[in-house]
Amino acid sequence: MSGQPNHPALLIPGPIEFDDAVLQSMSHYSESHVGAPFVATFGETLSMLRKLFQTTDPSSQPFVISGSGTLGWDLVAANLAEPGDEVLVLHTGYFADSFSDCFETYGVKATQLKAAIGSRPQLSEIEKALKEKNYKLLTVTHVDTSTGVLSELKALSELVHRVSPDTLLIVDGVCSVGSEEIEFDKWQLDGVITASQKGIGCPAGLSISMYSGRAIKAFQSRKTPPGSYFASFKNWMPIMQNYEAKKPSYFATPSPQLVHALHTSLTQILSKPLSERFAAHREASQKVKKAVTKLGLKQLASDPADQANGMTAIYLPENIQAPELLPNLLKKGVIFAGGLHKEIAAKYIRVGHMGVSVTDPKRGDVERAIKALQSGLSDAGYQKA
């Protein structure tokens, strides 16, 4: 039984559908941000994030800050790089352009390594680029929300550590944390930034990130102060460490309600082995992708090895445009997203399959999505060639 009123199933690549208990936590009565009960909740939340990211290294540092996924870019650009530093941005779509803009804002020189839409830079190209210049950071979008392209982190990390061991490896995991496997310690990642409203299954409003001891050391050996005030590690690090040690402290007022919801969501996620969660996402994803193929449609990510498990980006048949199809799907009770890549925005749609829509099969969200897509295309006159 759901405590939520009847509403169309939100199956976009974030925000996703939320569990009742998570939404109920959003209504938590007001608490002091420095009172013992909330300090304990925040501290436990930070400790649970370590488990979600699979890091046991005590030098890793989690951050939870009021903001959005975008704020994570400022955290990286204003703290882990200094003006004049060079960074290599792997480009898989829309978001690499924005991350590069963010670096440039802080005087950091961003070089993009581009790939065709639906693809990703190959390891050999990355190796070549890393050998040409000294990069302070390399950034990769784990799942590109604009294309559904999944990047492989383990092999990338091995490459970076072999070819350019001083380069920090930063992962934009906004559309991957909680839905794609990430082993922070084992894969030797230096930073993963994300947001609350996708695979983590908590309403939007929180910037969530994890940094390695190596990244924190790089921050501490800066020659210049951080380039941002609100996004400054200097201001936030003692606060996060105090909360996790269950000690009150203050830099800016956190959102107790959002942190309660995140606490509830992480408690649910960690109540089962993470491997089961990732398997459920892979399985639902395969269901959607098989149905897409059966309909004779193609994904933006053409190589199965490059396909995300939490979302699918689908090219529409030639005569059907996203702005016509999506309102009809809404009538059928599901909300999908249009394209984000300007030049082809009307030509493709994006379907999210993350969180409770995947882990709670009683909801039937994935089946509803597939059925709606089939009948929506049929309504629009599409027949498989």
Q: Minimum distance between the CB of residue 16 and a second copy, rounded to whole angstroms? A: 7
Q: In angstroms, what CA-CA distances link 120 with 47, 218, 261, 334, 350?
A: 33, 28, 34, 30, 18
Q: Minimum distance between the CB of residue 264 and a second copy, rounded to whole angstroms? A: 12
Rounded Cα gap, residues 384 and 368, in angstroms = 20
Report the residue number, 225 or 296, with the smaller CB distance to a second copy.
225
Closest alpha carbon to 88 in 154, 152, 153, 140: 140
* Pair 25, 260: CB distance under 8 Å: yes
Report the residue number, 23 or 270, with the smaller CB distance to a second copy.
23
Report the residue number, 213 or 248, with the smaller CB distance to a second copy.
248
- The beta-strand segments (E) located in the chain are 9-10, 61-66, 86-90, 109-113, 137-141, 143-144, 149-150, 168-172, 191-195, 206-211, 311-315, 334-335, 337-338, 348-352
Closest alpha carbon to 356 in 202, 206, 150: 202
Give me the residue label for tokens 């984000």. Answer: 340
Report the residue number, 33 or 120, with the smaller CB distance to a second copy.
33
Closest alpha carbon to 297 in 334, 335, 325: 325
Torsion, Cα 238 267 186 15, to 10 degrees, reads: -90
* Pair 118, 149: CB distance under 8 Å: yes
Tokens (6 digits) for 266? 């992480």
Report the residue number, 34 or 270, with the smaller CB distance to a second copy.
34
Q: Minimum distance between the CB of residue 57 and a second copy, rounded to whole angstroms? A: 28
Give me the residue label for tokens 């994030």. Answer: 49
Q: Which residues bind a second copy (CB under 8 A)?
A: 3-5, 7, 10, 12, 14-18, 23-24, 26-35, 66-71, 73-74, 77, 101-102, 105-106, 195, 197, 203-205, 225-232, 250-258, 335, 337, 340
Left (φ > 0), alpha (ψ -120 to 50) or beta: where does 118 sit? Answer: left
Q: Minimum distance between the CB of residue 290 and a second copy, rounded to whole angstroms? A: 26
Report the residue number, 298 or 341, with the smaller CB distance to a second copy.
341
Q: Minimum distance between the CB of residue 170 and a second copy, rounded to whole angstroms? A: 15
Rounded Cα gap, residues 250 and 240, in angstroms = 10
Tokens (6 digits) for 228? 């941002």
Q: Minimum distance between the CB of residue 209 and a second copy, rounded to whole angstroms? A: 13
Residue 350 among known ligand-binding residues? yes
Closest alpha carbon to 277 in 104, 68, 54: 54
Report the residue number, 29 or 381, with the smaller CB distance to a second copy.
29
Binding site members? 350
Show binding-site residues for substrate.
350
